[in-house]
Structure 1
Amino acid sequence: MLISNELSEPPTTAMRTVARLALSGVLVLAGLSHLLWAREDFQAQVPRSIPLVPDGVVMASGGVEIMLGADLAVLTRDRVKIGRIIAAFFIAVFPGNIAQYRNTRDAFALNTDRRRFILLLFQPALIAWALWSTALPTPNS
């Protein structure tokens, strides 16, 4: 069943809407954690090759995550574009996950190489989640 409204909102499905709103919540929660209770852990993911203060990078990325999560929930007419921006954001922060793995930095209970490697596998899933939940449905979806 397709869901749409008369304000030229692109059609979607109930399942994609639920997935989009769940991703919105994940982004807002992650952003808040960047700013409030996990700032130090997130600093472990900032590659040392970036010539910026790690805490500033963490705070900026947290703010971006909150903004993207909020936009994803309320700007439904722009959701396809926002989904692509979120996917690009997930790609942009992926080097931080790689740096945490390559430099064996402990954070978020990721205190073994195996756990840090498993984290790397989640990034493509996040990218796919952002794109699928915001995409226009195909005739078979």
Structure 2
Amino acid sequence: MGIINKDAVCQIALVVKDIERTAANYAELFGIEVPQIFSTLPEEESHTQYRGNPTKTRAKLAVIDLGQIVLELTEPDDEPSSWKEFLETNGEGVHHIGFTVSDRVKVIEYFASKGVPIRHYGEYPGGNYTFMDSVKELGVILNIKPGAQS
């Protein structure tokens, strides 16, 4: 088995310019209620870091349950963040794929040994996320989330 279990995918995340419009469009597409839109916590609570430096970034999020995975919509603010950089560089699109792992430190050490640094980190009640700067190696950012899978 690899360093990440292929069955541990839990999230596909898009960066968007207008979360209200995009969430409404997905709700219509799937025939569901428009998902709740909420904001990430302030840096004092989330301990957010971008490229190794603290950042006051906040983002609007909406989550749509698609069964095994969730579709996460993210509208960044103007503070430095992986989301903002992605939007400015690429426009709207897939920002990352998220995986749950049983040993977050082991996975991050694996990526470090391959020259892949942490791009963005933050915390939320009950968990955290770590975006790996894996675009060159994998074509997409990976989000490493602590959980039961490995």
**TM tier, shorter chain?**
under 0.3
The structure in which a higher percent of residues are helix is 1
Bigger Rg, structure 1 or 2: 1
In the superposition, the TM-score normalised over structure 2's length comes to: 0.24
In the superposition, the TM-score normalised over structure 1's length comes to: 0.25
